[in-house]
Amino acid sequence: MMKPILSTQDYQNRIKTILITEEEIQEEIKKVAVKIDALYDGRPLLLVGILKGSFVFMADVCRRVSVPCEVAFMRVQSYFDGTVSSGNLKILMDLDRDVTKYHVVILEDIIDTGRTLAEVLKLLKERNPLSLTLVTLLDKPDRRVVEVKADHTLFTIPDRFVIGYGLDCAEYYRNLPYIAEYNSEE
């Protein structure tokens, strides 16, 4: 379990290295928004963010998409207090609408083991949306234990624990504007 961070210095010391800059993220978001616009122009579109990690990504993609869309959120949890997925998925907040009338685009922060997304995809497919597309900010294929493939991946990363741009470690670091490797050394 991670010790509570008590000072700004301790907080900064946990940032090992920046892997993806804010500028690189924004450039890739522009590209994926263009793809979404092309695919869903004139179609009922529902962007679904998986909370908490995707909230920054979701907001930036939503602002870049120019076609009419609605927004909804699900909240699922598989990391409970550290840097390793527990393997147990818990749905904390479900969608508040019938998805059968929408082309659903899931916006996810990271595909790691695939456990979380496999369950979310299964659940949403059973609800019969017009179509279901998965867009992920980060993909970490070296950690995959359940096969999940995104329709659009912005960045593929090595097997490192990452923070920033919505991703956390014990609820810290979501506010960083970039993706960084977490320094677990105390």
Per-residue pLDDT of 133-145, as tens digits, reads: 999 999 999 999 9
Q: Where do the domains of the chain lie? A: 19-182
Query: Roughly how many angstroms between the first and final C-alpha of the chain, as a whole number?
Result: 12
Tokens encoding 33: 């928004």
The 10s digit of each residue's pLDDT in 57-89 is 999 999 999 999 999 999 987 655 555 555 566
To which H or E segment does residue 184 belong? none
**Structure letter (DSSP) for residue 142:** G
- Rounded to an integer, what is the distance from CA 1 to the centroid of its chain? 23
* pLDDT (0 to 100) of residue 98: 95
CATH code of the domain occupying 19-182: 3.40.50.2020
Whether the full predicted model's pTM is greater than 0.95, yes or no, is no
Query: 62, 69 in Cβ contact below 8 A?
Result: yes
Q: How far apart are CA 185 and CA 106, in angstroms?
A: 34
- Catalytic center residues: 112
Q: What is the largest CA-CA distance in the chain?
A: 53
Decide if pLDDT at 4 tops 70: no
